[in-house]
Amino acid sequence: MTQKSFALISLACSFVTCKAQQEVCFSIEGNPFEQEDAFSEFTHYIDVLGCFHVLAESGVSDSKLLHVAAVAAELLDQDEDGQVDDPSIEEALSTGQALMPILNFEGSDAEEVLFESYDGSGIAAVLYNEEIDPEQPGHWGADATVEEVLHTINHVGHAMVYPEAFSLQPNSSLLSEAMDVARGGQFMSVPDAYPEEAWYHYDDWTCDYECMAIEYLYWSIVTQMGILNDAITAQGISNEWELPSPEALESTDVLMHALINDATYMLPLVAPDGNYCPTSAGASDGFGVERSVVKVLNLLGQEVNGLEKGMKLHVFDDGTVEKVLSNDQN
């Protein structure tokens, strides 16, 4: 999309006009943190459910920014009723100022300024432009959005709210206990060789124990989601993770399977598809807007036209926009 295209609360593509459908009910705004040195190079922004910030630098398309916001919302609001499923996680993310920066490329101006100036604890990962593919949500090797957003939610949220379950320190939680089994022993750094019985053998030498734990939690969650459950992906990840299917996780990693499926912690176990537009009838949809009238904003935050109930917008690859009648009359 071009910068002339509208930043929309409702973005939709039909299969006739583009390869994938993306319906995302968020508005793109200007950077509300531009006066802060760390974020001064970012240009556009989405507030996800009042507790998760997504900031992008110039050059990141609207469609990619919306995709990241949609995935974050789907992970936080699995039943898509417009509310974060776990109020405790919502509070932790809000208090911790959870934030996902989207950068043009490694070493970009925005990244350099961010890393030089940021001193908070709400950023656990970043996303690069080339790592985002709205047509393949969470697909290994194509779209890193699910992984990086999960890292942030787990690190700023679950590890803080439920330390007995998800603390990342050695000998501190059910997560660390399970990981020591999965790696074939407790290793503070990457060993020269993992034991033969290990099924989790991440070998990034820059990744310490806590980093290994957050990666392990990611692998386990997306395995349960079914995202990894195909032969090509299984082969591609086997050097790090040997359990590509939910059945393999349940039968092999008994401790972790029990942990992530414990309803107490309300972990997201349904794979995001990149579409997020809550449809709870007769209610404000969680964005402070009645669903009978949807506001459309441009990149300056100016309202340009309203959408009547039952209308959506088609946004084409060339950036042109037209109103269409929606099949969804909620």
HEC string of 83-122?
Answer: CCCCHHHHHHHHHCCCEEEEECCCCCHHHHHHHHHCCCCC
Q: What is the pLDDT of residue 22?
A: 75
Q: What is the pLDDT of residue 67?
A: 97
Distance CA 234, CA 225 (A): 14
In a domain, 203, yes or no: yes
In a domain, 241, yes or no: yes
Is residue 203 within 8 A of residue 240, CB to CB? The reply is yes
pTM above 0.85, yes or no: no
Pick the closest to residue 67 from 91, 48, 95, 87 (CA basis).
48
Close Cβ partners of 34 (under 8 Å, ≥ 6 residues apart)? 40, 42
In a domain, 208, yes or no: yes
**DSSP 8-state code for residue 297:** E
Q: pLDDT tens digit string along 192-204?
A: 999 999 999 999 9
Three-state DSSP class for 162? coil
Q: pLDDT tens digit string along 148-180?
A: 999 999 999 999 999 999 999 999 999 999 999
In a domain, 13, yes or no: no
Q: How many CB atoms lie within 10 A of CB 137?
A: 23
Q: What is the pLDDT of residue 279?
A: 72
In a domain, 304, yes or no: no
In a domain, 228, yes or no: yes
**DSSP secondary structure string, 25-68?**
----EE-TTTTSGGGTTEEEEEEETTTEEEEEETTS-HHHHHHH
* Structural domains in the chain (count): 1
In a domain, 293, yes or no: no
Which residue positions in the chain have pLDDT lower than 50? 1-20, 280-330
In a domain, 167, yes or no: yes
Which residues form the domain of 258? 163-264
Q: How many CB atoms lie within 10 A of CB 163?
A: 14
Q: Are strands 99-103 and 52-57 parallel, antiparallel or unpaired?
A: parallel
Q: What is the pLDDT of residue 210?
A: 97
